[in-house]
Amino acid sequence: MSEPIKTLCPYCGVGCGLEVMPPAQTGKATSRDSEGNPMWQVRGDRDHPSSKGKVCIKGGTVAESLNKDRLKYPMMRDSLNQEFRRVSWDEALETIVHRIEEVKATQGVDGICMYGSGQFQTEDYYIAQKLLKGCLGTNNFDANSRLCMSSAVAGYIQSFGSDGPPACYDDLEETDCAFLIGTNTAECHPIVFNRLRMHHKKNRSVKMIVVDPRKTQTAEAADLHLAIKPGTDIDLLNGIAHLLMKWGELDPLYIDECTADFTKYAEIIQHYPPEIVAGRCGIDLNHLEQAARYWAESENVLSMWSMGVNQSSEGTAKVRTIINLHLMTGNIGKPGAGPFSLTGQPNAMGGREAGGLAHILPGYRVVKNPSHRAEVEQLWKLPSDSISPIPGRDAWSMITGLETGDVGLLWIAATNPAVSMPDLVRTKKALLKSPFTIYQDAYYPTETAAYAHLLLPAAQWGEKTGIMTNSERVVTLCSQFRQPPGQAKPDWEIFAEVGRRLGFTKEFAFASSAAVYQEFVQLTKSRPCDMSGLTHGRLRQQGAIQWPCPLEEVTDINSFALQCPTGGNISQNKKESGLFSSLLGNNKTEPPKAKRLYTNGTFNTADGRAKFAAFHSKGLAEPIDNEYPFVLTIGRLYEHWHTMTRTGRIPKIMKRQPKPFMEIHPKDAQRLGIEEEQMIEIQSRRGLGRFPAKITKAIATGTVFIPMHWGALWGENTEANVLTHPEACPISLEPELKACAVKLIPMGLE
């Protein structure tokens, strides 16, 4: 029996290692999927450092979707009211090249947009950047990560000088206090939550605080649940900061040595007395004080957040306000501590490393920085000024660009915006106006395929070899174990072929994804996300490795200071003060481990100091009023993934979660005369949906919840995002998908 093939779960950002075995090698009768195809066997990889053999239902059943409804051949049509006809790859690619040239000639290169995905492998992301930003000269590449964690990226960059989550999963087992805000980790990052819950159960002194308007499964496990009113996160965080300051529970040495702008911040925090904060947040004063006490009494505090913080019109401010608490208490760069953004998608982190958003470039560079552009142009061997200094269109502005006619070609890959974008009525109208939409995906039908002129079949999980990075910066080689069906190809190969046909033959002369990765890691050399020491071969041999992982291994603390992954040196006074001795261990010849960033207290800002910044909350972008008196919040279920292109095709999952619903508090239900399972029409200013009521005290009064997964393929009026609005954080441009104002109209009992 041959060795199992090692890969990574293709669903969430936890990034659990998987082992895959063909059916014939299990020693049991061949297992088959619901369509009778022999089914690959999947189990957790015990050697994977992030998950240690554990998987959730999604990872455990992923192989069941491999043969379902696959898009196998390129298909094309001249207009959206026609049927697709099968075409050759040659015709499909020539059509793309012709369309690109046409848009360049008539509208300019900025009429071309690509909307990609955290489902991409790093090689897919990288080749797309080289094609769009380098060879074509437009930064119009954005990914669905814009809807997921771009506020975390912006917050890290502004506070620390560069992106990069500073903590790691081992901190889950070393923390004294876990502070989870805007994250239903138990359902959305289940294996991370299992690790934390085990630690919490085993150690009675360890505290868990959960901040969420819903009493989620995560909140049920907490010592303290703060069910704040939607949109009051900044008030709460400033209120905790106020109490910590009042009690003198700060780390003055850390503030003094490692941070800047504390005085201004402290002045503003004076305006957040606990009585006022508790009232604004709608929580007990005692609970607010208890949360601050847990922070004060804990040696190490680990904050975690995801969409509840990021998907907000003040998402970046919220992220920075969390980071402020860590800076003022010195809770960063040491075991069990740090502000830790949990990424949603399996390779959202790889996208950040490869420059996969409209304002960034590979190697944690930004398009606005002339030296960053020059460094990338040099490696790509392109003429100076090939890369535009202007950030490209973000996800939503691609939609508005279709409305205005400024987008002449939209290339969508591995994502399903006809379900996941806000304000779906408007989004779909805009997609109908697109002169030419290419849709590249593994499955057909999907909701977005209905808006495409050209369908390109993509290889998916297990059908191509490439790299993914998870939330804790662990890089895993995902090995191919089966052939793609029909004529499906890896995304990067499709992009590279278009590049060659556009005349960039040398730029895209890659023999394999390993060669693509080799070129990409050169762009990370001496950057904060240095992974120049990684290759496909090394990862295959040694298993998953965490970055920073520079080419030359560091052997002592002094050489570490010169090659520090955070890009700076440890200042002499910091070394002499002994401040970092406890962090570095007694043996000064041992370098700090890569698993945490900023262990030496030096950040990637110009002066090496992390920046405090104080914010006053503006509240929700669309507050409730007499006409729309409920806050709608949307979210994810344990079983499903995003828009269900995979999980909707797995019977075991559909059996557990077959349909969407609307959670409402019993008091609100009683007031409106709503009964369990009664259909409720939810209306916002943009559209309506109909959902059966689920009456539960898990949701606060005045708020209703619906899951975001179901799209138009599943029936009429089941789409959460018909209701949401696109108002976004002005810095991260991440829309406030988490909250909008709605009214409820009970329908006849069915």
Q: Is the four-CA dihedral 598, 601, 605, 611 of positive or negative sign?
A: positive
d(CA 568, CA 560) in angstroms, rounded, equals 10
Of 684, 720, 185, 280, the C-alpha closest to 471 is 185
Whichever of 350 and 422 has its CB closer to ligand SF4, that residue is 350
Query: Which span (9-17, 281-289, 318-326, 562-570) binds ligand SF4, by CB under 6 A?
Result: 9-17
β pairing state of 112-116 and 141-143: parallel
Question: What interhelical angle do 150-160 and 315-329 show, nearest 10?
Answer: 40
d(CA 36, CA 63) in angstroms, rounded, equals 13
737: its two tokens: 């998908």
Whichever of 15 and 351 has its CB closer to ligand SF4, that residue is 15
Q: Residue 478 interacts with ligand SF4 (CB under 6 A)?
A: no
Of 56, 177, 180, 741, the one binding ligand SF4 by CB under 6 A = 56
Q: Residue 12 interacts with ligand SF4 (CB under 6 A)?
A: yes
Query: Which span (4-12, 331-339, 541-549, 698-706) binds ligand SF4, by CB under 6 A?
Result: 4-12
Number of H helices, E strands in the chain: 27, 28
Q: Residue 59 interacts with ligand SF4 (CB under 6 A)?
A: yes
CB of 640 to ligand SF4, least distance (A): 10
Whichever of 17 and 231 has its CB closer to ligand SF4, that residue is 17
Phi, psi of 718 (to 5 degrees): -115, 10
- Asked whether the beta carbons of 337 and 331 are under 8 A apart, the reply is yes
Q: Residue 49 interacts with ligand SF4 (CB under 6 A)?
A: no
Whichever of 475 and 700 has its CB closer to ligand SF4, that residue is 475
Of 191, 459, 475, 637, the one binding ligand SF4 by CB under 6 A = 191
Q: Is the four-CA dihedral 116, 119, 125, 131 of positive or negative sign?
A: negative
Query: Which span (48-56, 349-357, 605-613, 648-656) binds ligand SF4, by CB under 6 A?
Result: 48-56
The alpha helices in 213-359, defined as continuous H runs, are 217-220, 233-246, 252-258, 262-269, 274-281, 285-297, 307-310, 315-329, 348-354
Q: Residue 709 interacts with ligand SF4 (CB under 6 A)?
A: no
C-alpha distance from residue 11 to each of 4, 8, 39 (Å): 20, 9, 19
CB of 691 to ligand SF4, least distance (A): 25
C-alpha distance from residue 652 to each of 39, 58, 62, 142 (Å): 14, 10, 11, 33
The enclosing H or E element of 744 equals: strand 740-746
208: its two tokens: 């868990």
Whichever of 60 and 687 has its CB closer to ligand SF4, that residue is 60
495: its two tokens: 């992009």
CB of 476 to ligand SF4, least distance (A): 11
Residue nearest to ligand SF4 (CB): 59
Whichever of 605 and 643 has its CB closer to ligand SF4, that residue is 643
Of 49, 116, 134, 190, the one binding ligand SF4 by CB under 6 A = 190
The alpha helices in 107-172, defined as continuous H runs, are 122-129, 150-160
Whichever of 56 and 322 has its CB closer to ligand SF4, that residue is 56
Of 6, 7, 11, 738, the one binding ligand SF4 by CB under 6 A = 11
Whichever of 100 and 474 has its CB closer to ligand SF4, that residue is 474
Q: Residue 71 interacts with ligand SF4 (CB under 6 A)?
A: no
Q: Residue 9 interacts with ligand SF4 (CB under 6 A)?
A: yes
Cis link prior to 445 (omega < 30° from 0)? yes
Please give the single-letter amino acid code of residue 132: L
Whichever of 190 and 355 has its CB closer to ligand SF4, that residue is 190
x/- mask, ligand SF4, residues 16-35, rule CB under 6 A, reads x-------------------
CB of 447 to ligand SF4, least distance (A): 22
Q: Residue 14 interacts with ligand SF4 (CB under 6 A)?
A: yes
Query: Which span (51-59, 241-249, 277-285, 690-698) binds ligand SF4, by CB under 6 A?
Result: 51-59
First to last CA, the chain: 55
Whichever of 41 and 51 has its CB closer to ligand SF4, that residue is 51
Q: Residue 181 interacts with ligand SF4 (CB under 6 A)?
A: no
Q: Residue 55 interacts with ligand SF4 (CB under 6 A)?
A: yes
Name residue, tokens 């690509």.
Answer: 114
Q: Residue 350 interacts with ligand SF4 (CB under 6 A)?
A: no
d(CA 440, CA 96) in angstroms, rounded, equals 12
CB of 8 to ligand SF4, least distance (A): 7
Whichever of 71 and 653 has its CB closer to ligand SF4, that residue is 653
d(CA 254, CA 552) in angstroms, rounded, equals 30
Query: Which span (7-15, 268-276, 336-344, 474-482) binds ligand SF4, by CB under 6 A?
Result: 7-15
Q: Residue 648 interacts with ligand SF4 (CB under 6 A)?
A: no
CB of 226 to ligand SF4, least distance (A): 25
Of 426, 421, 427, 444, the C-alpha closest to 708 is 421
Whichever of 56 and 349 has its CB closer to ligand SF4, that residue is 56
Q: Residue 118 interacts with ligand SF4 (CB under 6 A)?
A: no
d(CA 737, CA 741) in angstroms, rounded, equals 11
Whichever of 182 and 190 has its CB closer to ligand SF4, that residue is 190
Of 6, 19, 21, 58, the one binding ligand SF4 by CB under 6 A = 58
Number of residues that bind ligand SF4 (CB under 6 A): 13
Of 6, 7, 15, 325, the one binding ligand SF4 by CB under 6 A = 15
C-alpha distance from residue 97 to each of 198, 434, 607, 626 (Å): 54, 17, 46, 53
- Asked whether the beta carbons of 199 and 206 are under 8 A apart, the reply is yes
* Neighbouring residues of 44: CB distance < 8 A, sequence distance ≥ 6: 16, 17, 18, 19, 51, 52, 53, 54, 55, 59
Residue 36 CA, chain-centre distance (Å), reads: 35
CB of 145 to ligand SF4, least distance (A): 16
CB of 32 to ligand SF4, least distance (A): 22
Interface residues with ligand SF4 (CB under 6 A) are: 9, 11-12, 14-16, 51, 55-56, 58-59, 190-191
